[in-house]
Structure 1
Amino acid sequence: MTTPGTVTAAPEIIASTNAGPATTTWVELLDTQVRILRGRYRTRVLEAGQGPALVLLHGTGGHLENWVRNIPRLSRHFHVIALDFLWHGRSQTEDFDPELIPPLVDQVTDVMDVLGIETAAVEGQSLGGWVAMQLALRHPERVGRLVLTTTMGFDPAEGAIPGFVEPNWASNLAGSLDVLRNPTYDNVRTRMTRILADPERITDEAILIRQALYRQPALAAVQQRFITEYQTGDAVRRHRVSDPMAGEIACPTLVYWGDHNRTPPAYGRYLADRVRDGRFHCAADTGHWAQFESAEQHDAVVTAFLLGVDSVRGTATGHGTESEHLMEHDHCADPVRTTGRNEPMADVTGRWDIVSWVQDFDDGRQVYPLGEELEGFIRYTPDGDMVCLIARADRTPFTTGGQWNAADVEKAAAYSSVLAYAGTYDIEGDTVVHHVDLSLFPNWEGGDQRRRFILREDGTLALEARLEDGTAEARTARLVWRRPADRAA
């Protein structure tokens, strides 16, 4: 097995991806052909461009328009075929099968057969990545290269990824069913923005296309069955790709990730290491819908990989000085290579001042626990101690008494405007674990607070934590910090 390198695009490919003025979906897809194929299944497909075949597979609840930002650039180099999965988009809604994955794999081979395509590169995002992995395992002769973008469906060996806990995907079920039963603009927007790092990047047109599809009674009905089986069914779990199975994927494989994906970059990097010929690339400030949110970077990196540019530049094996240099462009490169209690961490140690603290709820709410204007810092010492203090910037002095004899309402307000705790810390992969010794909130004392951390390209430190998974209050806490400009780290 090779060590995964980081894929970057050749300069000439990057130069061809400059963004122009905003356009509509059908301006972007003007030179494409959309039709219904009838083979073993009835499948809506889009075709564009000439060259080696590239099949694009979307995620759960999606449709071929998920790739609207990618098709124009990818079709400059490839014969692009995007399709609606069974029970999605405008493909057939009948003959539902709760196994899900085997019929979707068979649908892809059906489309390739009808179009006369023997072998293709295949990219799958989320659910599409799961289907693509199974396609590569069941029909290896039909997959030339594989791109797994924020894929689902992989089960790493227990304990293989330090600190990794599989998210409780079933916590999303109620919200997913609600949008299918009541596809208002706001409900659809909430469903779509939760997979982005920045909800403001979603477009009205993307929402309106999804809403128009969900308003089709037959699709809405079968989608409710699909999403229920996908998130909670036993039948579909039998088709997950185990750790040993991933090692059987032999074709060159690119795992493309986003640093804000709910399943962390360490998961994607591990998968890239498990397949026989893997590479890993992670886009900064990017969530689960990585092909949409970092479209230009995605298209440049994927095009380079599919054309073999990464192999030419020496990154296929991950060895050598060129590969080591390219690792600098991986915005999710592991900040820590080892673990151990109180291990010093040069990139984190020192003082970081608070920039922002927001809680993004899975149902679309956004809450600022101490307001939008904050003061405070977190400090990590080289010998493993830590302290965190955050306060509202508009705290007011007591007027009814001193520290101990002021009115209870003033003391309660003071408590409610500060977060404070201290203890020691460990680094486990991409997670910092705060072992709390003292806390203003006494329930934290003696326990651990786990935070996934990201050292961003702009020099800021992001800490993230999942809270109350499986409940109506499920959310992600996001805190951003920067080093003081007038202090040495």
Structure 2
Amino acid sequence: MQSYGPLFYSTGLAVRSTGTGPALVLLHGGSGSRTHWARNVPELASSFQVITLDLPGFGESARPSQEMPVSDYLAWVAHAVRLAVGEREFHLVGFSFGGAVAAGVSALLASNGRAPTRLSLLSPAGFGPPAGRSIALEKVKGIDPADARVLREATARNLGRWMLAREPDPQDLAIDIHLRNVDLARFDSRQVSHQASLVDHVRTANVPTQVLLGQEDPLIFPSLQERIDLLRHALPSARVEVIEGAGHWLAYEASDTINQTIRQFHL
């Protein structure tokens, strides 16, 4: 997997930077890492200085305690972001759990006059616990890691049920990314993503905001139209767009569209 620039640490979080231009910070989803942006960093780096963080408890970053308050978790990320970008203006993008984190970080930084210039939220969490949502996944923890074929096939089926609109080939890069990220995950992202916080945080941040939703995202509950209606009512100034034919992991599955859309919104 690509490194996306040299590794350095900011308050215990693994950070990488590559490219030139306006600073664009990318925050990954739950059970993830910077590798969630595998199909985006090389393209976006032609227009931005792309900064990827492994959030606390994921990838190569330090692990928070499970008792850490969400407010402290967000403050940790906000501090790391500001150290990574310095005094420059910057743009912020968050995916899923990282979308909820990005909104919270934006709200915190806004209180100090340091909010991002623009904010993009891809398939964001932060709408409260999805009570009643049911997605049947296969158990993979009991599969012998030595039986790579069975493990990859089961993982592909699962990704096709909750992360992607279509089941990927078992040899797809998405399988490698997901398996490695799950092995490294040491924090329950639901502590953040299941809070009903996103709308209030975006309002507090008060910056131009773009929300991108996958037309076939099974994690949007109870329905895509209800989510669209909620966002357009609660955040009338936000730009809400639906990506046709895509599931939850928009940045991977619809990378060309996402790269173009992010570039257009942030430049």
TM-score by length of 2: 0.80
Aligned match of 1:48? 18
1:105, 1:135 within 8 Å by CA — same for their partners in 2? yes
Query: Could you say if the C-alpha distance between residues 153 and 180 of structure 1 is closer, same or farther in structure 2, counting changes exceeding 3 Å?
Result: farther
1:250 aligns with one of 181, 198, 206: 206
Query: Could you say if the C-alpha distance between residues 119 and 102 of structure 1 is closer, same or farther in structure 2, counting changes exceeding 3 Å?
Result: farther
Q: Quote how far apart the aligned CAs of 1:114 are.
A: 4.3
Q: Distance in 2 between matches of 1:114 and 1:209?
A: 24
1:146 aligns with 2:110: no
1:37 aligns with 2:9: yes
Greater relative contact order structure (CA < 8 Å, 6+ sep): 2
2:152 aligns with one of 178, 185, 209: 185
Aligned match of 1:286? 246
1:199 aligns with 2:159: no
1:86, 1:104 within 8 Å by CA — same for their partners in 2? no
TM-score by length of 1: 0.46
Query: Could you say if the C-alpha distance between residues 128 and 201 of structure 1 is closer, same or farther in structure 2, counting changes exceeding 3 Å?
Result: farther
Q: Distance in 2 between matches of 1:127 and 1:148?
A: 10
Q: Quote how far apart the aligned CAs of 1:117 are.
A: 4.6
Q: Quote how far apart the aligned CAs of 1:46 are.
A: 2.3
- Please list, as runs of the form range in 1=range in 2, the aligned pairs for 1:225-304 lying within 5 A after superposition: 226=188, 230=190, 239-241=195-197, 243=199, 246-262=202-218, 263=220, 264-266=223-225, 267-268=227-228, 270-275=230-235, 277-304=237-264
Query: Could you say if the C-alpha distance between residues 100 and 181 of structure 1 is closer, same or farther in structure 2, counting changes exceeding 3 Å?
Result: farther
Query: Could you say if the C-alpha distance between residues 280 and 188 of structure 1 is closer, same or farther in structure 2, counting changes exceeding 3 Å?
Result: same
Per-residue CA distance 1:216-237 (angstroms, 9 max, x = gap): xxx35x34xx15xx1xx6x875
Q: Quote how far apart the aligned CAs of 1:87 are.
A: 1.0
Q: Distance in 1 between matches of 2:264 and 2:200?
A: 28
Aligned to 2:168, the other structure's residue is in SS state helix
1:209 aligns with one of 148, 155, 177: 177
- Please list, as runs of the form range in 1=range in 2, the aligned pairs for 1:330-369 lying within 5 A after superposition: none
Q: Distance in 1 between matches of 2:25 and 2:99?
A: 12
Query: Could you say if the C-alpha distance between residues 115 and 274 of structure 1 is closer, same or farther in structure 2, counting changes exceeding 3 Å?
Result: same
2:26, 2:51 within 8 Å by CA — same for their partners in 1? yes
Aligned match of 1:406? none
Aligned match of 1:475? none
1:153, 1:241 within 8 Å by CA — same for their partners in 2? yes
Q: Distance in 2 between matches of 1:292 and 1:133?
A: 21
Q: Distance in 1 between matches of 2:33 and 2:56?
A: 10
Q: Distance in 1 between matches of 2:170 and 2:86?
A: 36
Q: Distance in 2 between matches of 1:292 and 1:179?
A: 22
Aligned match of 1:116? 86
Unaligned segments of structure 1, at least 5 residues: 1-24, 156-164, 308-489
Aligned match of 1:86? 56
Q: Quote how far apart the aligned CAs of 1:180 are.
A: 5.4
- One-letter amino acid of the counterpart of residue 213, structure 2: W
1:137, 1:248 within 8 Å by CA — same for their partners in 2? yes
Per-residue CA distance 1:65-109 (angstroms, 9 max, x = gap): 111111112111111111111111121235344534641452243
Q: Distance in 1 between matches of 2:41 and 2:91?
A: 14
Among the aligned pairs, what percent are the same residue? 25
Q: Quote how far apart the aligned CAs of 1:143 are.
A: 1.3
Unaligned segments of structure 2, at least 5 residues: 146-150
- One-letter amino acid of the counterpart of residue 200, structure 1: P
Aligned structure 1 segments of 4 or more residues deviating by more than 6 angstroms:
none
Query: Could you say if the C-alpha distance between residues 203 and 48 of structure 1 is closer, same or farther in structure 2, counting changes exceeding 3 Å?
Result: farther
1:246, 1:271 within 8 Å by CA — same for their partners in 2? no
Q: Which has the larger radius of gyration?
A: 1
Q: Superposition RMSD on alpha carbons, in Å?
A: 3.0
Aligned to 1:33, the other structure's residue is in SS state coil
1:147, 1:253 within 8 Å by CA — same for their partners in 2? yes
More strand by percentage:
1
Per-residue CA distance 1:302-327 (angstroms, 9 max, x = gap): 110111xxxxxxxxxxxxxxxxxxxx
1:74 aligns with 2:41: no
Aligned match of 2:148? none
Q: Distance in 2 between matches of 1:253 and 1:147?
A: 6
Query: Could you say if the C-alpha distance between residues 193 and 80 of structure 1 is closer, same or farther in structure 2, counting changes exceeding 3 Å?
Result: same
Q: Quote how far apart the aligned CAs of 1:35 are.
A: 0.8
